[in-house]
Amino acid sequence: MKKILFQLLFAMFCVLPIWSQSPNPTPPNNDVVRISTSLIRLDVSVHDSKGKAVSDLRADEVDIFENGKKQQITGLRFISVAPKKPEAKDSAKDAIPVPPRVLRPENIRRTIGLVVDDLSLSFESAAYTRRALKKFVDEQMEEGDLVAIIRTGAGIGALQQFTSDRRQLYAAIERVKWNPRGMGRFGSFDPIEPTMQEMLRRGGDGSELMPDKEDLKVEREFQEGVSDFRESVFTAGTLGALKYIVNGMGELPGRKSVIMFSDGMRIFNRMEGGSFAAARILEFLKKLTAEANQKSVIFYPMDARGLEYTGFTARDALYDPNTQNDNVQQSLGSRISDRATALFDSQQGLYYLAEETGGFAYTNRNDLSAGVQKVLEDQSYYLVEYQPDDETFDADKRKFNKIDVKVTRKGASVRHRSGFFVGEEEKRIVVDLNYPTKIMRALTSPFGMNGVNVKLNALFGHSPKSGYFVHSFLHINAADLVFKKLPNGDFQANFDILAITYGDNGVPVDKNNATGSTLVKADQLERVKKDGIAYSFIFPIKQPGAYQLRVALMDRESTEVGSANQFIEVPNLKKDGITMSGIVLENVAKQDLTKTSGAQDGTASRFATAVRTFERGTVLRFGVELLNIRKKPADLQIQTRVFHDQKLVFQSQETRVDTVSISTPAGTYLHNDAIELGENLQPGDYVLQIVVLEQSGSKKKTVTSQYVQFEVVQ
């Protein structure tokens, strides 16, 4: 059964042509905020007294200072990051879903990292955060948004790739839950309970508590010390995850923002007498904000606790809150005061992250979705340019350049980065990594590496004998490989491949490693470098669910590394209704229509399914397996649709499935068809969607769909 995915024999149906259409192209966004030795470009947000973005500032209304010295502005322009709202969708339950658009770098307008700090979130805050994330994906996410939902406590495997696919984001939201391994409580504060000293000093006859002040003080300081240490450990883990995310986001296009949902991050510890001591967290934060400013990433921390009540609640366990004992009254009053102080202190890190990177902190408000919307409305900005002085990048004279921007227009407020480090912080450290370290770094990165260009297409499938599996098709750009000439005149390239599947909790599930070798004749070398190499492998899947497949490839000769990753959902055939395997492709010339599928080993279909780039004027064959058809339905229809920029450009007639052909024990049906890519077809990215509509008795039609993305070239 698995062999169907690469030895598919395409039945010859009427070829359905797609000729031409006139899409509306999206203008590219080539604006990059950067710091170089010849020009400094900063992003600056300016708002009026009502909080709306100001879009008509003149250069003479802006003053920029570097280390207190006024600079000459050489450029000022307003960048409006306001993507067009997606068209209204059919809300009917049986409406056919529209596949996500292929999002290329020039189409990306906003890059948003939704970071869930589940190392700090309480049980209540996790529920509030999950609700806000779902509303963002359902209502606030717009066309041109590249988004990732990342949990700080889930490990590197959970740092998923940025995507515009809502299916992947929904799967990530399902994993946003209270983390019992973190420091989050059930609520925002631990309930007040009698201390050990209070319990020991309580009279056996129920008489009043008579605690000793010094004993209470020692016990309290010990408990606070343990709590402080535990908090600092988890906070350091959160900051480490944030630094990893920021480092990867630096290479992504568009306006880069991190919206962090957290229950706070304390910087300073309060000492006896009212003084403060800087914790090690401050140094972590300085390094993180320096990295964020260098990568042009803005932080918008959000306190997920909302507006908190710090007084007594029903969860507090008090022996006798009405006692007149002065020590007891002082103890209770002190604990209530400590709650208010702890809330204030825990927001220090949130404000610091925002102020140093040019964002804002959203605190003491209950509507997290309103806070997210406020962040989304803050994406338009001014790009301010000026020529730096000779001393700006002289590390011997200064390590940090402080930036201050002022706007003279009345009522206008401005936010910007605090500055940037120079010296060692600005240098790239080149390390000669060994093989395991280098390939694992590529594999665990959610952002993909392109030392060797690699494309991945992973297809779900099922076999009655061996169960669930994922068949992965890899296309390798052979021009990025080093081919060594052999004594006989042939050329050979050698590479290593490591693939790992991660569950949606970030834990590795399975791995596959292989050594690849490509041997070509001298007269075929240029063709192979142009067309590339196809490689495929199968992963058995033990349990249905959402997975990330990550593949890293290293050229043995150059040690260059490429990586790719893909999200894939494996449905539960015991519970779900009719579903479909992944779609297998094959590309043939029109004059070859009378021929069957390529070589019997599936070379043609394997290559086409991997590369997914086809020329106009050719025919695209495709095949898919319908699974889990338990009972022969009264009416089972199948339809082919093709989209370009989420616009329907082709739709076939609904065709009845021949239920006689269905394999009753397995409930499977193999569907093959073909479409012609017209000579006048607009080059670009397309999505092929196969839709199955099931009518059973008087019930409404149920819709099942599967899609694959491909590119049309001239």
Q: Which tens digits make up the pLDDT trace of 643-681?
A: 988 889 999 998 888 766 666 556 788 888 999 998 888
Check pLDDT > 80 for residue 34: no
Model confidence pLDDT, tens digit, residues 583-638: 999 998 877 666 655 444 567 888 999 999 999 999 999 999 888 886 666 678 89
Asked whether residue 27 carries a pLDDT value surpassing 50, the answer given is no
Distance CA 449, CA 442 (A): 6
What sign results for the dihedral spanned by CA atoms 65, 71, 77, 81? Answer: negative
Give the pLDDT of residue 12: 38
The answer to whether residue 322 sits within a structural domain is no
pLDDT: is 262 or 344 the higher one?
Answer: 262
Same domain assignment for residues 459 and 560: yes
CATH number of the domain at 115, please. Answer: 3.40.50.410
Tally of domains within the chain: 4
Pair 471, 565 in one domain? yes
What's the chain's Rg over C-alpha atoms? 30
CA distance 456 to 549: 9
The verdict on 568 and 674 lying in the same domain is no
pLDDT at residue 476, as a whole number: 93
Domain of 469, CATH number, reads 2.60.40.2360
Which DSSP string do the residues of 425-448 spell out, in sequence order?
A: GGSPPP----HHHHHHHHHH-TT-
Is residue 429 pLDDT above 60, yes or no?
Answer: no
Question: pLDDT at residue 520 above 60?
Answer: yes
Q: How far is CA 524 from the centre of its chain?
A: 40
Where is average pLDDT lowest: 53-62, 65-74, 334-343, 422-431?
Answer: 422-431
Q: Is 201 inside a domain boundary?
A: no
Coil/strand/helix, residue 99: coil
Q: Identify the residue with better confidence: 250 or 199.
A: 250
User: CB atoms < 10 A from the CB of 85, how many?
Assistant: 8
Q: Which has more pLDDT, 671 or 29?
A: 671
Res. 278 pLDDT band, cuts 50 70 90 = low
CA distances from 347 to 301, 305, 341 (A): 9, 11, 10
CB 18 within 8 A of CB 680: no
Q: Are residues 237 and 359 in the same domain?
A: yes
Do both 487 and 571 map to the same domain?
A: yes
Residue 176 per-residue DSSP state: -
DSSP helix/strand/coil, 626: strand
Give the residue-averaged pLDDT of 168-186.
76
CB 176 within 8 A of CB 118: yes
> What three-state secondary structure class fits 246?
helix
Pairing relation of β-strands 110-116 and 255-262? parallel
534 and 393 fall within a common domain: no
Residue 47: name the closest of 450, 358, 302, 349 by CA: 358
- Residue position matching structure tokens 């401050």: 282
Q: Are residues 261 and 132 in the same domain?
A: yes
Q: CA–CA separation, 477 vs 680, rounded Å? A: 28
* Euclidean distance between CA atoms 140 and 385, whole angstroms: 32
**Pairing label, strands 613-615, 702-713:** parallel
* Stronger pLDDT, 62 or 340, i.e. the higher one: 62
Whether residue 55 is found in the same domain as residue 166: no
pLDDT of residue 204: 47
Average pLDDT of span 267-283:
62
Q: Supply the pLDDT for residue 428.
A: 40
The larger pLDDT score, comparing residue 275 to residue 64, is at: 64
Q: Do residue 466 and residue 496 come from a single domain?
A: yes
Same domain as 697, residue 557: no
Mean pLDDT over each residue of the chain, to the nearest integer: 77
Asked which of 96-100, 546-550, 653-657 is least confident by mean pLDDT, the reply is 96-100
Sequence-ordered list of residues with C-beta below 8 angstroms from that of 52, at least 6 positions apart, any chain? none
Residue 187 included in any domain: yes
Amino acid at position 356, single letter: E
Question: In this structure, is residue 503 part of a structural domain?
Answer: yes
198 or 391: which leads in pLDDT: 391
- CA distances from residue 269 to 351, 503, 548, 613 in whole angstroms, order as listed: 16, 38, 40, 58
Element (H, E) at 247: helix 213-249
Q: Is the dihedral of CA 166, 172, 175, 178 positive or negative?
A: negative
Q: Which residue has the higher pLDDT, 154 or 41?
A: 41
Residue 565 has pLDDT above 90, yes or no: no
- Mean pLDDT over residues 236-256, rounded? 76
Place of tokens 């450290």: 429
The structure tokens 């590795």 sit at: 508
Q: Is residue 473 part of a domain?
A: yes
Task: State which residues form the domain around 407.
Answer: 40-85+382-426
Going by the DSSP 8-state scheme, the letter that residue 225 receives in this structure is H
Is 207 inside any structural domain?
A: no
- Which has more pLDDT, 103 or 188? 103
Helices (H) and strands (E) in the chain, counts: 11, 33
Indicate the pairing of strand 702-713 with strand 684-695: antiparallel
Q: Are residue 130 and residue 63 in the same domain, yes or no?
A: no
Banded model confidence at residue 29, pLDDT cuts 50, 70, 90: very low
**Which of 111-120, 360-369, 447-456 is the most confident on average?**
360-369
Q: What is the pLDDT of residue 666?
A: 62
pTM of the model: 0.72
Other Cβ atoms within 10 Å of 698 Cβ, number? 6
Q: How confident is the model at residue 427 (pLDDT cuts 50, 70, 90)?
A: very low
Backbone CA torsion sign across 97, 456, 536, 618: positive
Let me know whether 148 and 282 are in one domain.
Answer: yes
CATH number of the domain within which 6 lies: 2.60.40.2550
Please name the residue that has the structure tokens 């039945």: 11
The whole-number average pLDDT for the span 254-268 is 85
Q: Is residue 442 part of a domain?
A: yes
Inter-CA distances, 22 with 350, 561, 647, 648, Å: 47, 39, 10, 12
Whether 280 has a pLDDT exceeding 80, the answer reads: no
